[in-house]
Amino acid sequence: MVLQATDLSYSIGGKTVLEDISVRFSTPELTVLTGPNGSGKTLFLQLLAGLIRPVRGEITMDGRAFPGGNNRLGSRVGMVFQLSERQILGQTVEEDILFGLSRLGLSRQEVESRLEECLNWSGLVTHRTQNPHSLSGGEMRRLALASVIAMGPEFLLLDEPFVGLDYSGATQVLSLLLSLREQGKGIIVVTHSLDAILAHADRLVIQKQGRIIADGLPERILPYLEDHGVRRPPLKLPEMSWLPG
């Protein structure tokens, strides 16, 4: 499966914030997207997810035009926002996962199967009747992941998934992302927390001033991070693993 952006541009108030971005993502692949603040990384994710429309250019899935604007979160491309609580809609953990599932036209049996699978996968099965807003930061992030994954996307986009999490919460989220890659998903992670994930990434992309300026194997791009305004992690790449590689 290939998700591709071609000559993608986006403007706000007449000012171009993304310009002529052409890049492709595949499954299964874990891509880390980083760059200085104000580079338009979150906007780029929203375009890829079909939540907003580009001013110019197109997004395709396996060569076919990918719908934008009215695309439902979590159909073929799902996005988890930095502030996970803003996309939590249910009164309980179970209701939140069911919210999107109930709109897919699936059989009751399939809905129940996906619900149980996602509750177990995310480690939230014992919290199923709990109010989502009473969860810890890491648990809330896992719920946001589970609610999107339940809808069966091929690609998952995450905006700063490690922000505000302690060591335990971050490692749990990372473990879930690695399991998704093993299941054949394409994962694109926007983050400044490179030490949390880069050792597990297949690819590192740098975005600066609305453009993609570097794209390749992490070990090849790592030495040039600071040249592009990105703090280089203090550890050498093979040591930057919070989980076994």
Domain boundaries, the chain: 1-76+190-245
- Give per-residue pLDDT as tens, 92-133: 999 999 998 888 888 999 999 999 999 999 999 999 999 999
Q: Taking a C-beta distance cutoff of 8 angstroms, is the pair 153, 78 a contact?
A: yes
Adjacent-strand bridge partners of 64: 61
Q: How far apart are CA 49 and CA 119, in angstroms?
A: 24
Higher pLDDT, 234 or 243: 234
- Give the span between the Cα atoms of 149 and 56, in whole angstroms: 29
pLDDT digits (tens, 9 = 90+) for 21-61: 999 999 999 999 999 999 999 999 999 998 899 999 999 98
Residue 74: is its pLDDT beyond 50? no
Cβ neighbours, 10 Å, residue 105: 7
Packing angle of the helix pair 137-149, 167-182 (nearest 10 deg): 20
What's the rounded mean pLDDT across residues 72-85? Answer: 77
pLDDT computed for residue 73 by the predictor = 39
Distance CA 187, CA 78 (A): 10
State the average pLDDT over residues 166-193: 94
Q: What is the pLDDT of residue 67?
A: 59
86 Cβ contact list (under 8 Å, min separation 6): none
When pLDDT is cut at 50, 70 and 90, the band that residue 66 belongs to is: low
Query: Both tokens of residue 196?
Result: 């949390």
Distance (Å, whole) CA 236 – CA 187: 23
Specify whether the CB–CB gap between 68 and 50 falls below 8 A.
yes
Instruction: Tell the CATH superfamily of the 1-76+190-245 domain.
Output: P-loop containing nucleotide triphosphate hydrolases (3.40.50.300)
